[in-house]
Amino acid sequence: MQPEQYPLMAAQEEVHWWYRGNRAVARRLLARWRPSRVGLWLDAGCGTGKNLEALAAFGEPVGIDFEHAALALSRARGQRRLARASVTALPLASASVEVVTCFEVLNHRAVGDWRAAVAEFGRVLRPGGVLLLREPALALLRGSHDQVVHSTHRFRRRELRDAVQRAGLRVRRCSYQNLVTFLPALLLRSWQRWRGRRPHEQVADFGRGNAALGALCARWLAFEGLLLQWTRLPIGSSVICVAQKPA
């Protein structure tokens, strides 16, 4: 993502149904599987800091990001425990963190070896600590938004699950998510590929859209969070994984 896009993202995070709905999902899953002990909570690739603000009940928030523009916006939101770092080389001691979250980061071209990042998450977690990952799903949904935000990979459920297990973590739930956006995204991406969108026409999916439809979608995502506490979904535009480090 270009530095000038972060203020747009920060504004959308306050109001857009996709961000609000996915925060609701994260709250439900963390409430179900969070450790009994309260300690450091790392948001790896914290972006503009909205998740550090919105999920602060789950630990003492610490954020890392590689982009100066993102860290500046996190500081503007009042976050102070921040560092410029890569998810593949976390500036934290082993077994020092109770919760690690990482949302739409491993897909970024700057990450490189995303499996090394998952291994780092496992390294810094304390025994009993919890990891929550969410990444874009399925290569057939790749489109102009991926190019704008420098996304080079879309994940299958199995490959994310396998990487988490290789990092020594026990998977509690690994599922597709954002079922409500799957069919619209598939139709849009198929149309973009058929039309042959030119580079100067590439746009990110930051549009606010219809408010009533957005509110309905946000409620559906909150309902998905309830479902994901007990089962997994067969398809979706994202893949989400909750895992725990064995005690």
Domain boundaries, position 205 = 3-244
Give phi and psi for 186, each to the nearest 5. -65, -45
Number of domains making up the chain: 1
Q: What is the pLDDT of residue 203?
A: 47
* AA identity, residue 188: L
Q: What is the pLDDT of residue 202?
A: 46
Burial 1-40 (b: 16+ CB within 10 A, else e): beeeebeebbebbeebbbbbbbbbbbbbbbebbbbeeeeb
pTM listed for this prediction = 0.91
Task: Say which residue, 41 or 183, is predicted with more confidence.
Answer: 41
| CATH number (domain holding residue 208) | 3.40.50.150
Considering the chain, what is the average pLDDT of its residues? Answer: 90
pLDDT band, very low/low/confident/very high, at 199 (cuts 50, 70, 90): very low
pLDDT of 64 > 80? The answer is yes
Q: Do residues 100 and 203 touch, judged by C-beta distance below 8 A?
A: no
pLDDT of 200 > 50? The answer is no
Task: Say which residue, 122 or 216, is predicted with more confidence.
Answer: 122
pLDDT band, very low/low/confident/very high, at 197 (cuts 50, 70, 90): low
